[in-house]
Amino acid sequence: MAIEPKALSAWTGAFGDRYTERNVASTDAVRGRARIWAEVLSHMQGDPPKSALEVGPNLGLNLRGLASVAEIDCWGIEPNPAARKLLVDDGVLPADRVFEGFGHSIPLADGAVDLAFTTGVLIHVDPTLLEATLREIHRVAAKYVFCCEYFSPKPETIAYHGETDLLFKNDFGSLYMDMFPDLCLVDCGFFWRRTTVIDDCTWWLFRKV
């Protein structure tokens, strides 16, 4: 019998609840995400996305920030029940655009959205499910793939809030480029916590060609 990766049960249960409780949709937090999205969208001038899916939105800080700088139809797939409730109760997403689940199995058709993205989520995907997750994100994206994650030039497992096997650093940009020849790098960079109110992260934006 196959053993379920620890990350699956952790994020759907009490550990995931505590993560949601630690995150607050403060004015500064949303403003920081808006700054991030203004930067990312500046690289899509001439062909901006009209629809987007966030994998692992939690309470929707990215979606709130994105909505403040652009008009985009958004969806989210989120494993934690408390976070899904907040997304709907706070008006971030309508209930029919919030899916229960993880990125390795997305209930959308091929090319369903212009943009599919993660922010601080691939680092929490168990390595046994990472390839499937990247393939699903690539599959549902018609035009753009974006990720913003902790960077390491080689796979690295880090202790996280007293737990092991829940945070995995990697060179996610190279993984995308090596797996998908149809992805062209639009740009990449670094978001500094001091100006964005998120942890220091490396970001990559890809365009399907």
In eight-state DSSP terms, residue 90 is: T
Instruction: Enter the pTM of the model.
Output: 0.95
Q: pLDDT confidence of 186, banded at 50, 70, 90?
A: very high
Which two three-digit tokens encode residue 70? Answer: 């652009």
28 belongs to a structural domain: yes
Place of tokens 């993560």: 19
78 belongs to a structural domain: yes
What is the percent of the chain with per-residue pLDDT over 90, rounded to a whole number?
A: 89
What pLDDT, on the 0 to 100 scale, is given for residue 3?
A: 57
Element (H, E) at 20: helix 14-22
Question: Region 155-169: what's the mean pLDDT?
Answer: 94
Least confident of 14-18, 90-94, 176-180: 14-18
- Domain coverage including residue 126: 6-208
Beta pairing, strands 183-191 & 201-208 = antiparallel
What is the percent of the chain with per-residue pLDDT over 70, rounded to a whole number?
A: 99
What pLDDT, on the 0 to 100 scale, is given for residue 1?
A: 43
189 belongs to a structural domain: yes
User: What is the CATH number for 129?
Assistant: 3.40.50.150
49 belongs to a structural domain: yes
Q: What total number of domains does the chain contain?
A: 1
Handedness of CA 108, 72, 30, 167 (dihedral sign): positive
Residue 192 has pLDDT above 50, yes or no: yes
Alpha-carbon span 13 to 79, nearest angstrom: 9
Which two three-digit tokens encode residue 138? Answer: 């690539």
196 belongs to a structural domain: yes
1 belongs to a structural domain: no
* 81 class by beta-carbon count within 10 Å (0-12 exposed, 13-18 middle, 19+ buried): middle
Give tens-digit pLDDT for 88-144: 999 999 999 999 999 999 999 999 999 999 999 999 999 999 999 999 999 999 999
Question: Region 68-75: what's the mean pLDDT?
Answer: 97
